[in-house]
Amino acid sequence: MARKKNYKIYEMDYLMNNDLSEDDLYYLFETPSLNYSLLINEFKYSNQELTDEKKIIKLAQSDEEWMYKTFWTEKQRNAFEEDAKKAFMNIYRCGPVEAESRVQWWILYYGLTNSKYRNNKKIDKMSE
């Protein structure tokens, strides 16, 4: 029986610490679940007002510049990076160097903007 390609949101703690089941691996590798889970967790780590998971996903899908309008502090980013690194080590069964590289690539594409640029009228964007 074929599964629907939907998605499942995972808490960061689950991604870091649990043995992943066949079902988990399906969702993480065959659906957008990993990206969506990291995105939702990124919003949690940065204490955003927007907390509804579906609205966060819709924002990311509908606004190409959402990451330039959403901010986090260096401390929040560092905490997210450390936990995302542990999650990647668990998901991909890789070492810390590869996990850190994967996290850095993910943040390059989907990371929020440093809060020190909040009042900056011109933020350099990847698309420019």
pLDDT attached to residue 62? 96
- DSSP annotation of 49 reads S
Q: Where are the domains of the chain?
A: 12-117
Q: Where are the beta strands (DSSP E) in 38-119?
A: 71-72, 113-114
pTM above 0.85?
yes
CB atoms within 10 A of CB 120: 11
Task: Annotate 16-25 with b (16+ C-beta within 10 A) or e (fewer).
Answer: beeebeeebe
pLDDT attached to residue 4? 60
CA 39, CA 3: separation in Å to the nearest integer?
24
**Biggest CA pair distance of the chain:** 52
What does each C-alpha distance from 110 to 2, 40, 55 come to in angstroms? Answer: 30, 11, 16
CA angle, residues 32, 94, 3, in degrees to nearest 5? 30
Q: What does the pLDDT profile of the chain (128 residues) look like in tens digits? A: 455 669 999 999 999 999 999 999 999 999 999 999 999 999 999 999 999 999 999 999 999 999 989 999 999 999 999 999 999 999 999 999 999 999 999 999 999 998 887 876 665 655 54
Using DSSP, how many helices (H) and how many strands (E) does the chain show? 6, 2
